[in-house]
Structure 1
Amino acid sequence: MNLISLENINKSYGEKVLFDDISLGISEGQKIGLIGVNGTGKSTLLKIIVGIDTADKGKIIARNKLKIEYLSQNTQFTKDDTVMEAIFKGDSPIMVLLREYEKAVKEISQNPQDETVQNNFNRISEKMDALDAWNVESDAKTILTKLGINDFEAKVENLSGGQRKRIALAGALISPSDILILDEPTNHIDDETVNWLETYLNSRKGSLIMITHDRYFLDRIANEILELYKGKLYSYEGNYSKYLEQKLDRLNKMEAKEQKRQSLIKSELKWIRRGAKARSTKQKARIDRFETLQNENVDLSNGKVEISVGNTRLGKKIIEINDISMSFDNKTLIDNFSYIVNRDDRIGIVGPNGMGKSTLLNIIAGKIKPTSGDVEIGETVKIGYFSQEYRNIDETLRVIDYIKETAEYMSTSDGTLISASQMLEKFLFPGALQYTPISKLSGGEKRRLYLLKVLMDAPNVLLLDEPTNDLDIETLNILEEYIEEFTGTVVAVSHDRYFLDKVSNRIFAFEGNGKVLEHTGNYTDYIDFHNSILEEAPNKEKKKDNHEKESRNNKREKTLKFTFKEQKEYEEIEGNIAETESALEEISKSINESSSDYMTLQELMANKEKTEEHLNYLLDRWMYLSDLAEKIDNKKS
């Protein structure tokens, strides 16, 4: 069933045409990945679907009472909102009620003896029961925890940009909707969280349209890919892998069609040059066809960013990291880490957020000093640092002036001199756009411009801090190709698994408490190794337990009688089971009575889990002992 349709949509900003008569339909169950070079209008298209922006031309037809939930790249929160208040946005009855409930919880915690406050809390609690809103609140806390947000009463304005993005993502996920629209949902979240988000979105029943540069994410979730390219929208059925196959097929067909067109032009040109004495209607039609063929604008380019950057010579000594340690606020991020960087190293740095990955890059770059130890940099090393903090750009500068600050000309890998303007052309900044103030660029275009500035300096060691954030897939593909041809060293912090698999030959994994594990291979190799270790330990224990259990069973088969301890356990176990079941009932009652006190609720839930585990253990023992008692009785008889 079609939920929403966009028909013949046009949108322009000044002379820049974003959409040229594009059409799109979203049906139930569709999971769409929207891709395209930065600046082509992907986010604008999402805003038009949501209704935040409007098209210059065309129409939108939506199903009655269609609910759309939208995660933008830059979510604004109300001042003084707590985390829970921030995610319960929207005007649906449940969201309004949940905001009232959070407010009531705060009031009753501040004035527990106030009868008016108590009555209001009880009234809202009854409404929560009626609308079955408790599950939504519980889901919200679960999702926040999975996204690394644990302090639900923290003020949003005091949190980092990454934390605010994750809160906005949680808000979008919990809000009931027919279509969920996500703009770069994987930015600012680590690998483990991305894996959880994949599972969550795959199990979600509603429709989805998202912009993301994470190609594994697209491959595992999307069942359709839409590509925006030069004002046109191309649709490909299937995931990212299928898209690559179908796009290659489309380009091959276009190339064959263009070759045929060129052949026809040559044939018609010969006829035109021979001249025709009589200009019949048939001959005029043929001349018209020639002009049509000649004027056709066939675009066979694939929109790739071409990088052909030279780099300076690199000597034998590159970077030596000698027993460095780093601590902040009594938290150890790096503990006695050493490594000698080699010329052909392509190092990927992975780990949860806040573990110290960017800190290691900053130490190598000389931006901060370690608590102990040192880093030695070789004399020939020229570092190019592509950091997350690029927002100190003077946005009043024109695009070309920003690049010329680094170099007006540079030498490519084959020794050819190329101007700043020519390099900008290769980076999809055409002539007119080069004289545009940086403030007019999209976030992705600014990021791409910053990448060019780093490379224009011809470094021989590249430090890349989350290079995949805000870069489009096409630019990432070419950056990966550039790294493959790059003769220097690359060290990259990234949560983009696809990127790390393509470029890295060694992984530094931050595992917590300052421990940094070195592993040879790419990201998938590291994950396979890590999982094998996790599986190996329990298997060893299991084998040991099975062996001991088998030995005990063999002995038991021979003797078939209770030990003194087992006899006593058998006599008491039914009473213990009854006591444990009663305790479990009491805990459940306390949970229902403590729904407003989250700290107590957490303790009770943990206690309930432990009690349930103990009950299961007792039941297993009761079954085992009862079975043994039956065998003993049978043997006696």
Structure 2
Amino acid sequence: MILSVEKLSHSYGVRTLFKDVTFNIEMGDKIGIIGVNGTGKSTLLRDIARGEAGDGGRITANGSCVIEYLPQNPDHDPQATVLEQVFQGDSPQLELLRRYERAAALAAADPENSALQSRLLELQQQMDSAYAWQLESEAKAVLDQLGISDFNQPMAELSGGQRKRVALAGVLVRPSDLLILDEPTNHMDNETVAWLEQLLLKRKGALLMVTHDRYFFDRVVNRTLELDGGQCYLYTGNYSLFLQKREERRQSEAAAAQRLRNVYRRELAWISRGAEARRTKSRERIERFNELEQEVKKISASGELEMSSAGSRLGKTVVECEHLGLDYNGVTYIKDFSYILLRNDRVGIVGPNGSGKTTLMDILAGKLVPDRGSVQIGQTVRIGYFSQHSEFPDSEQRVLEYIRDVSDHIETNDGTRITAAQMLERFLFPSELQWVPVNKLSGGEKRRLYLLRVLMGAPNVLLLDEPTNDLDIPTLSVLEDYLDSFNGAVIAVSHDRYFLDRFAGKIFAFMGNGEIRQFIGDYSKYEAAAAESKAMLAGGAKTGTGKERIEAVKSQSKQIKMTYKEKLEFEQIETMIAGVEAELKMLTLEVNSAGSDFVKLGELTAQQQDAEQRLEQLVERWAYLTELAEASGVF
């Protein structure tokens, strides 16, 4: 055992994040922490990294245990160079490396100074004997892999994302027994995430981390720690096994909760008897009833995050892009991009950082005007734009006020009216939290609140720019379920492979030099096609040249043709859908007016279920024909 956590608790004011957290970390453990934002995941990591017991408990580390910690927003020395920042630490090797880097900089600035050159030579010999060159070489290789090539650049000149990557390089390179990482894959492209996966899998020390990337979680983690309702649950296994075991736990808890409610009902009947009987009641039983009542209230207060689909129906024209182009500082980010967005499109956008993905989203949202081409937005379109950076114009504004700025209520697809306060409850903002200033929320809670604000506008076209950044895994799972039932188009920029596989039916890949290539299928299919193209470029192919094979992959959608019968069906299917929807509306009105005529009610309900099934089949067929029409170039 290298570290133990016993009965660790942490609160902010009257709000308890977690209590009595107890677990051990052994050499070789790779523990992932999961939980809704605001449950204290980052706080738990920070407490363990600093050895602080919070409001109670004990953290005991092995005497020789060295801990390296990467917070979400790491500190840095603005005056330090990239390499100097990486070599922050207390070990003799790191101190030697820092002395050598300083001496090398001085000697380079004054090459005629013999004393400086002599000192540099002396340090070089010490580096040889201490094998410090190996550490420096490893640091440069890791930095290069993370996209940092200028090792002498001052930290003050780097962007926030670059500084985070330098900090990550530091904790990866510096020797440690326990590595603690808080959201290490944020703002990292898929290729780099895959590299980090392999690095952590090969690492011999222990790992404790928070991440929202479920593929990353699944492949790296061998133990899962869940924070739920202030309680800690530890599972052996990765994310997939965690889902199975958590469901078993919840089913067991639900059964226990039902038994508790049954006991409560009996005791409530007993304690509700008349005044004469009340005088004969034992004090002990009354006290037990009061305790039981509090337990039942806790059960009722707990809940799952819910999202309700709401939005207006789209017309025929959604968003049409014609020959878009945009340049900045001599760099072409978008070159001759055209696309017609369909009503139920699910498009994922991928590409390296800085390639222009957010630029395209800003153009579609109307926040940026392209240099060339045009964007036509349909009259019925209501765009909801969830940008990378949450926008809080008034940080002192109350949570409920922030949501009411958009709407007091929304109406779901089934006509249910839900108030802003009720939606906040569904998004795990209880009534006492709804009057808290926004600036008192955690970073993850702010992102969840911002997502709700976007959805409260009842959009029918959703633009999501890196929605998985800083959103917890439970919220992401529910967001994916929401997108399944969302009656409109969705375009999402994301580096989260699990999210893209879960929701996307098409992939737009930024290839560099402004080229945007379109693929039909989810991210895994795109990745396979891209790997095949890369292989063809590298070594040719058994049938045809590499160029021919790549062109075949690029034009795969053009090879599909619609038959005359399918074209005719495609022209008529929207009218058929509208007819069934009108039939369903009439049936709903008849059901509501049937009253206590149960025979008629049963007949109407059966007709209603049949109509719903026919509508579902028609919508699925419409989606297929739409894909086919686009792939075959019908429109």
Identify the TM-score tier after normalising by the shorter chain.
Answer: 0.7 to 0.9
Shift of 1:532: 2.6
Counterpart in the other structure of 2:55: 56
> 1:251·1:300 contact (CA, 8 Å) conserved in 2?
no
Residues 1:200 and 2:192 are matched in the alignment: no
> 1:308·1:412 contact (CA, 8 Å) conserved in 2?
yes
Counterpart CA distance in 2 for 1:422 and 1:291 is: 28
Once the two structures are overlaid, the 10-residue window that deviates more, 505-514 or 532-541, is 532-541
Counterpart CA distance in 1 for 2:291 and 2:443 is: 40
Q: Secondary structure at the match of 1:508?
A: strand
What one-letter code is carried by the residue in structure 1 that aligns with 2:421?
S
Counterpart CA distance in 2 for 1:486 and 1:435 is: 30
What one-letter code is carried by the residue in structure 1 that aligns with 2:222?
N
Matches within 5 A, 1:87-486: 87-264=86-263, 296-297=295-296, 299=299, 303-486=303-486
Counterpart CA distance in 2 for 1:26 and 1:300 is: 34
Shift of 1:265: 5.2
> 2:309·2:485 contact (CA, 8 Å) conserved in 1?
no
Cα deviation per residue 1:338-380 (whole Å; 9 max; x = unaligned)?
A: 1111001010000111111111111111211222111111111
Counterpart CA distance in 2 for 1:278 and 1:307 is: 47
Q: Secondary structure at the match of 1:464?
A: strand
- Paired positions, count: 542
> 1:255·1:300 contact (CA, 8 Å) conserved in 2?
no
Using the size of structure 1 for normalisation, the TM-score is 0.80
Counterpart CA distance in 2 for 1:490 and 1:515 is: 21
Cα deviation per residue 1:205-249 (whole Å; 9 max; x = unaligned)?
A: 000000001010110000001011121111111000000000011
Once the two structures are overlaid, the 10-residue window that deviates more, 365-374 or 516-525, is 365-374
Counterpart CA distance in 1 for 2:272 and 2:66 is: 63
Counterpart CA distance in 2 for 1:296 and 1:78 is: 50
What one-letter code is carried by the residue in structure 1 that aligns with 2:256?
K
> 1:332·1:513 contact (CA, 8 Å) conserved in 2?
yes
Counterpart CA distance in 1 for 2:268 and 2:423 is: 37
Residue 152 to residue 378, structure 1, CA distance change in 2 (3 Å): same
Cα deviation per residue 1:65-110 (whole Å; 9 max; x = unaligned)?
A: 2100000111121122211111111111111111112112211211
What one-letter code is carried by the residue in structure 2 that aligns with 1:304?
E
Counterpart in the other structure of 2:572: none
> 1:483·1:503 contact (CA, 8 Å) conserved in 2?
yes
Residue 371 to residue 261, structure 1, CA distance change in 2 (3 Å): same
Shift of 1:538: 5.4
Residue 402 to residue 112, structure 1, CA distance change in 2 (3 Å): same
Q: Secondary structure at the match of 1:150?
A: coil
Residue 98 to residue 542, structure 1, CA distance change in 2 (3 Å): farther
Residues 1:501 and 2:501 are matched in the alignment: yes
Shift of 1:416: 2.5
Counterpart CA distance in 2 for 1:529 and 1:459 is: 33
Shift of 1:257: 2.5
Shift of 1:300: 7.9
> 2:35·2:472 contact (CA, 8 Å) conserved in 1?
yes
Shift of 1:267: 6.5
Shift of 1:113: 1.7
Q: Secondary structure at the match of 1:299?
A: helix
Shift of 1:393: 3.3
Cα deviation per residue 1:259-308 (whole Å; 9 max; x = unaligned)?
A: 34445556777888999x999xxx99988877765654463887532111
Counterpart CA distance in 2 for 1:153 and 1:18 is: 41
Counterpart CA distance in 2 for 1:265 and 1:410 is: 36
Residue 421 to residue 63, structure 1, CA distance change in 2 (3 Å): same
Counterpart in the other structure of 1:26: 25
Counterpart CA distance in 1 for 2:108 and 2:186 is: 36
Shift of 1:24: 2.0
Residue 541 to residue 529, structure 1, CA distance change in 2 (3 Å): closer
Once the two structures are overlaid, the 10-residue window that deviates more, 59-68 or 532-541, is 532-541
Matches within 5 A, 1:572-587: none
Counterpart CA distance in 1 for 2:277 and 2:400 is: 56
Shift of 1:541: 5.1
> 1:70·1:172 contact (CA, 8 Å) conserved in 2?
yes
Cα deviation per residue 1:575-594 (whole Å; 9 max; x = unaligned)?
A: xxxxxxxxxxxxxxxxxxxx
Cα deviation per residue 1:553-577 (whole Å; 9 max; x = unaligned)?
A: xxxxxxxxxxxxxxxxxxxxxxxxx
Shift of 1:332: 1.6
Shift of 1:413: 2.4
Cα deviation per residue 1:153-199 (whole Å; 9 max; x = unaligned)?
A: 21221111111111111111111110000000000110000000000
Shift of 1:539: 6.1
Cα deviation per residue 1:118-162 (whole Å; 9 max; x = unaligned)?
A: 011112111211211111101111111111111112122111111
What one-letter code is carried by the residue in structure 1 that aligns with 2:523?
Y
Using the size of structure 2 for normalisation, the TM-score is 0.81
Cα deviation per residue 1:495-528 (whole Å; 9 max; x = unaligned)?
A: 0011111111100011112111101111111112
Gaps of 5+ in 2: 546-635
> 1:77·1:156 contact (CA, 8 Å) conserved in 2?
yes
Counterpart CA distance in 2 for 1:487 and 1:303 is: 26
Residue 191 to residue 301, structure 1, CA distance change in 2 (3 Å): farther
Counterpart CA distance in 2 for 1:67 and 1:270 is: 59
Once the two structures are overlaid, the 10-residue window that deviates more, 399-408 or 468-477, is 399-408
Counterpart CA distance in 1 for 2:78 and 2:505 is: 46
Residues 1:12 and 2:27 are matched in the alignment: no
Counterpart in the other structure of 1:593: none
Counterpart CA distance in 2 for 1:392 and 1:234 is: 34
Q: Secondary structure at the match of 2:395?
A: coil
Residues 1:70 and 2:69 are matched in the alignment: yes
Residue 80 to residue 293, structure 1, CA distance change in 2 (3 Å): closer
Counterpart CA distance in 2 for 1:331 and 1:266 is: 71
> 1:309·1:456 contact (CA, 8 Å) conserved in 2?
no
Counterpart CA distance in 2 for 1:72 and 1:493 is: 24
What one-letter code is carried by the residue in structure 2 that aligns with 1:143?
V
> 2:398·2:436 contact (CA, 8 Å) conserved in 1?
yes
Once the two structures are overlaid, the 10-residue window that deviates more, 251-260 or 146-155, is 251-260
Residue 242 to residue 379, structure 1, CA distance change in 2 (3 Å): same
Gaps of 5+ in 1: 546-637
Residue 291 to residue 417, structure 1, CA distance change in 2 (3 Å): closer
Once the two structures are overlaid, the 10-residue window that deviates more, 202-211 or 368-377, is 368-377
What one-letter code is carried by the residue in structure 1 that aligns with 2:319?
I
Alignment RMSD (CA, Å): 2.6
